[in-house]
Amino acid sequence: MEKKQVYVGIIGLGTVGTGVARILLEQKELLETRTSVSFNLKTIAELDWNTERDLDLTGVKCTTDAEEILNDPEINVVVETIGGYQPAFGFITKALQKHKHVVTANKALIATHGHELFQMALENGVNLLFEASVGGGIPIIKGLKEGLIANNIESMFGILNGTSNYILTRMHQDGLEFTDALKGAQEKGFAEADPTLDISGGDAAHKLTILSSIASNSFVKYESLYVEGITDITKLDIDFAKSFGYTIKLLAIYRRVNGGLDLRVHPTLVENKHLLSAVSNELNAIFVRGDFVGNTMFYGPGAGERPTASAIVSDIVDLSDDLFSDSAGNGRRAIKIAADVKLIPFDEITNRFYLRFFTRDIPGVLTKISGVLAEHDISISSMVQLETHEKDNYVPIVLLTHEALEKSMKHAMQKILEFDFVKENCLRLRIF
Ligand code: HSE
**Strand spans (E) along 55-178:** 61-63, 77-80, 101-104, 128-129, 153-159
Report how far ligand 1's centroid is from the alpha carbon of 283 (Å).
Answer: 10
Per residue in 238-288, pLDDT tens? 999 999 999 999 999 999 998 899 999 999 999 999 999 999 999 999 999
User: Is there a single domain that holds both residue 284 and residue 188?
Assistant: yes
Confidence of residue 173 (pLDDT cuts 50, 70, 90): very high
**Final residue before a domain boundary, out of 301, 336, 358:** 301
Rounded-to-10 torsion of CA 299, 310, 133, 13? 140
Strand partners, 427: 356
Per residue in 73-109, pLDDT tens? 999 999 999 999 999 999 999 999 999 999 999 999 9
Q: What is the mean pLDDT of residues 365-380?
A: 97
Does 335 reside within a domain? no
Q: Does the structure show a pLDDT above 80 at 214?
A: yes
Report how far ligand 1's centroid is from the alpha carbon of 215 (Å).
Answer: 21
User: Is there a single domain that holds both residue 124 and residue 212?
Assistant: no
Among 141, 192, 194, say which to mutate for ligand 1: greatest number of ligand atoms within 8 Å of CB. Answer: 192
pLDDT, position 193: 72
User: Is there a single domain that holds both residue 101 and residue 159?
Assistant: no
Report how far ligand 1's centroid is from the alpha carbon of 113 (Å).
Answer: 19
Q: Which atom of ligand 1 is nearest to the CA of 134?
A: 8
User: Is there a single domain that holds both residue 157 and residue 250?
Assistant: yes
CATH number at residue 174: 3.30.360.10
Yes or no: say if 86 and 93 are a contact pair by the CB < 8 Å rule: no
Yes or no: say if 68 and 45 are a contact pair by the CB < 8 Å rule: yes
* Interatomic CA distance for residues 126 and 98, integer angstroms: 9
**For 355, what's the count of Cα atoms within 13 Å in the CB-facing half-sphere?**
31
Report how far ligand 1's centroid is from the alpha carbon of 164 (Å).
Answer: 9
DSSP string, 20-56: HHHHHHHTHHHHHHHHSEEEEEEEEE-S---S-----
Find the domain containing 220 and state its range: 140-301
Mean pLDDT, all residues of the chain: 94
Among 141, 164, 203, 280, say which to mutate for ligand 1: greatest number of ligand atoms within 8 Å of CB. Answer: 203
User: Is there a single domain that holds both residue 204 and residue 71?
Assistant: no
pLDDT, position 328: 65
Q: Which atom of ligand 1 is nearest to the CA of 195?
A: 1
Count of C-beta atoms within a 10 Å radius of residue 198: 27
User: Is there a single domain that holds both residue 99 and residue 164?
Assistant: no
Span of 29-43, 156-170, 299-313, 329-343 with lowest mean pLDDT: 329-343
Q: What is the mean pLDDT of residues 147-154?
A: 96
Among 138, 159, 161, say which to mutate for ligand 1: greatest number of ligand atoms within 8 Å of CB. Answer: 161
User: Is there a single domain that holds both residue 107 and residue 164?
Assistant: no
Would you call 415 a catalytic residue per the annotation?
no
pLDDT, position 329: 64
**Residue 192 amino acid letter:** E
**Residue 81 amino acid letter:** T
Per residue in 378-430, pLDDT tens? 999 999 998 776 666 899 999 999 999 999 999 999 999 999 999 988 999 99
Q: What is the mean pLDDT of residues 198-218?
A: 96
Task: Report the pocket of ligand 1 as residue ranges, CB < 6 Å.
Answer: 136, 161-163, 190-192, 198, 203, 302-303
Q: Does the structure show a pLDDT above 90 at 333?
A: no
Pairing of strands 4-11, 77-80: parallel
* Interatomic CA distance for residues 249 and 226, integer angstroms: 16
Span of 28-37, 174-183, 333-342, 394-403 with lowest mean pLDDT: 333-342
User: Is there a single domain that holds both residue 91 and residue 105?
Assistant: yes
CATH number at residue 60: 3.40.50.720
Looking at residue 272, the DSSP 8-state letter turns out to be T
User: Is there a single domain that holds both residue 103 and residue 209?
Assistant: no
Q: Which atom of ligand 1 is nearest to the CA of 163?
A: 5
Does 96 reside within a domain? yes
pLDDT, position 424: 86
Among 82, 104, 160, 163, say which to mutate for ligand 1: greatest number of ligand atoms within 8 Å of CB. Answer: 163
User: Is there a single domain that holds both residue 53 and residue 181?
Assistant: no
* Interatomic CA distance for residues 359 and 419, integer angstroms: 9
> What percent of the chain clears pLDDT 70, i.e. is strictly above it?
97
Does 341 reside within a domain? no
Report how far ligand 1's centroid is from the alpha carbon of 401 (Å).
Answer: 32
Report how far ligand 1's centroid is from the alpha carbon of 145 (Å).
Answer: 22
pLDDT, position 179: 93
Report how far ligand 1's centroid is from the alpha carbon of 367 (Å).
Answer: 44
* Interatomic CA distance for residues 400 and 150, integer angstroms: 39
pLDDT, position 324: 86
Catalytic residue among 94, 207, 235, 407: 207
pLDDT, position 188: 85
- The residue whose C-alpha atom lies closest to atom 4 belonging to ligand 1 is 303
Q: Which atom of ligand 1 is nearest to the CA of 164?
A: 5
Q: Is the pTM of this model over 0.85?
A: yes
Q: Give the residue from 355, 358, 354, 356 showing the smallest Cα distance to 421.
A: 358
pLDDT, position 361: 87
* Interatomic CA distance for residues 108 and 204, integer angstroms: 10
Does 310 reside within a domain? yes
Yes or no: say if 312 and 173 are a contact pair by the CB < 8 Å rule: no
* Interatomic CA distance for residues 74 and 31, integer angstroms: 20
Confidence of residue 321 (pLDDT cuts 50, 70, 90): confident
pLDDT, position 191: 78
Query: How many domains does one find in the chain?
Result: 3
Report how far ligand 1's centroid is from the alpha carbon of 281 (Å).
Answer: 12
Q: Does the structure show a pLDDT above 80 at 331?
A: no
Q: Which atom of ligand 1 is nearest to the CA of 190?
A: 5
Confidence of residue 337 (pLDDT cuts 50, 70, 90): confident
User: Is there a single domain that holds both residue 112 and residue 11?
Assistant: yes
Question: Distance between terminal CA atoms of the chain?
Answer: 57
Q: Which atom of ligand 1 is nearest to the CA of 107?
A: 8
